[in-house]
């Protein structure tokens, strides 16, 4: 399950409308008209990183992790993010909260005394 950004909905509708699809078809397919496998996605991500000059190791999981962290930073609840990511345990989702909290710049109220 994933969230489609409003800014992409129109383009995706056009893309879907331009194809004769049934419920078992994939919207994004390889140049061999097959669904992407994980290795193909890893290569695409690596090429995209090179293209923009990003010298950091990025993976599919990095994108998932970043997405979840941003959702929490935007104020979405751990329960909602847990449901969206398909985690069985809230503890699994808590990892993203810790990453998010480390970026906060909150000072102790005692510091204002």
pLDDT tens digits, one per residue of 31-79? 888 888 999 999 999 999 999 999 888 999 899 888 888 888 888 888 8
Do residues 14 and 30 share a domain? yes
Q: By C-alpha distance, which of 91, 99, 65, 93 is closest to 80? A: 93
In a domain, 112, yes or no: no
Domain that holds residue 87: 59-106
Task: Decide if 2 is inside a domain.
Answer: no
Q: Are 26 and 35 in contact (CB under 8 A)?
A: yes
Output the pLDDT for position 24: 76
65 near 56, Cβ under 8 Å? no
| Distance (Å) of CA 10 to CA 18, 26, 27, 31, 68 | 12, 18, 14, 24, 24
For 29, phi and psi rounded to 5 degrees?
Answer: -130, 160
pLDDT of residue 95: 78
Is there a single domain that holds both residue 52 and residue 64? no
Model-wide pTM > 0.75:
no
- The residue among 56, 79, 95 that closes a domain is 56
Q: What is the pLDDT of residue 47?
A: 94
Q: Are residues 90 and 102 both part of a single domain?
A: yes
73 within a domain of the structure (yes/no): yes
pLDDT one-digit tens code per residue, 78-109: 889 899 889 898 888 887 776 665 565 666 66
- Residue 59: the pLDDT is 92
CA torsion, ordered 31, 35, 40, 44, to nearest 10 deg:
70
Same domain, yes or no, for 52 and 63? no
């Amino acid at each position: 399950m994933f969230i489609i950004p409003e800014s992409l909905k129109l383009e995706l509708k056009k893309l879907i409308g331009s194809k004769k699809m049934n419920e078992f078809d994939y919207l994004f397919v390889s140049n061999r008209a097959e669904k992407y496998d994980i290795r193909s996605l890893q290569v695409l991500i690596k090429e995209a990183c090179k293209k923009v000059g990003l010298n950091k190791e990025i993976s599919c999981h990095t994108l998932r992790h970043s997405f979840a962290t941003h959702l929490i930073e935007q104020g979405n609840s751990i329960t909602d993010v847990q449901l969206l990511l398909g985690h069985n345990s809230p503890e699994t989702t808590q990892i993203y909260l810790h990453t998010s909290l480390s970026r906060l710049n909150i000072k102790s109220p005692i510091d204002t005394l």
